[in-house]
Amino acid sequence: AGLTQPPSVSKGLGQTATLTCTDDTNTVGNQGAAWLQQHQGHPPKLLSYRNRNRPSEISERFFASRSGNTASLTISRLQPEDEADYFCSTWDSSLNVLVFGGGTKLTVL
Amino acid sequence: QLLLQESGPGLVKPSETLSLTCTVSGASIITKTYYWGWIRQPPGKGLEWIGTINYGGNTYYNPSLKNRLSISIHTSESQVSLSLSSVAATDTAVYYCAMALVVGDLLFWGQGTMVAVSS
């Protein structure tokens, strides 16, 4: 799997941002994609499991979805603290490897 | 609460071996449903998966690092270790350990430790 994410996305405060993660194989379509958020100087935080469920402490403003080999993370009602880097990842069970996308820098204007 | 703490030398010379330890507290390291992973992030760049180990010692390695890499689990010390040989400047990164309930879904992360490779 090779996961492609747009390098940057900019949206206004209170708006909705949709981040995408496109796989050049069927891995995301079969295994799903997890989403992580990383603020500068901090470790990543898991926002969504590959099955699109959220860990208990994650806001419902973060919604993961999938269509074919493209996974998406929709962030509604954007807040200043949402400004961060976002990474997708998937587990390729045929090769037993974890693959990360290159990440998207989200700017909240 | 599960806590992961990475430790190791901040500076390693080229061609030497990098050794890091992840100390786990708040959970049993040999819980059957847990996977322990190592991930690194070069300065200003994205995340790179290094490898994963489960409670039984089964390992999964990044093919690009496999020939230089060893990950082990040390149950009595509640630690997961990483050994990367023949390091070069391209191995300079923040190294994280993380725990997954499902392999590939990295739920808990340590704070990371910066390792520079330089003479």
Instruction: Write out chain B residues lying below 8 Å of A30, CB-based.
Output: none
- Predicted confidence at residue A3, as pLDDT, reads 95
Instruction: Write out chain B residues lying below 8 Å of A101, CB-based.
Output: 46
For A5-29, write each residue's pLDDT tens digit: 999 999 999 999 999 999 999 899 8
Interchain CB contact of A87 with B (< 8 Å): yes
Distance from CA of A28 to the nearest CA of B (A): 12
- Predicted confidence at residue B49, as pLDDT, reads 98
Across the interface, whether the CB atoms of B47 and A91 are under 8 A apart is answered: no
Q: Which of B37, B52, B112 sits opposite A43 (nearest CB)?
A: B112
Q: Which residues contact B14 (CB under 8 A, 6 or more apart)?
A: B87, B88, B89, B117, B118, B119
Q: Which of B48, B63, B109 sits opposite A43 (nearest CB)?
A: B109
Go through chain B and tell me how many residues it has.
Answer: 119
For A57-99, write each residue's pLDDT tens digit: 999 999 999 999 999 999 999 999 999 999 999 999 999 999 9
Residues from B in contact with A at Cβ < 8 Å: 37, 39, 46-49, 52, 60, 62-63, 96, 102-107, 109-112
Residue B116 CA neighbour count, 13 Å, CB half: 5
- Predicted confidence at residue B18, as pLDDT, reads 98
For B21-80, write each residue's pLDDT tens digit: 999 999 888 888 899 999 999 999 999 999 999 988 899 999 999 999 999 999 999 999
For A46-58, write each residue's pLDDT tens digit: 999 999 999 999 9
Distance from CA of A38 to the nearest CA of B (A): 10
- Predicted confidence at residue A29, as pLDDT, reads 87
Q: Among B33, B47, B59, which would you mutate to test the A interface (most chain A Cβ atoms within 10 Å of its Cβ)?
A: B47
Compute the average pLDDT of residues B85-96.
98
Give the count of beta carbons closer than 10 Å to the beta carbon of residue B48.
17
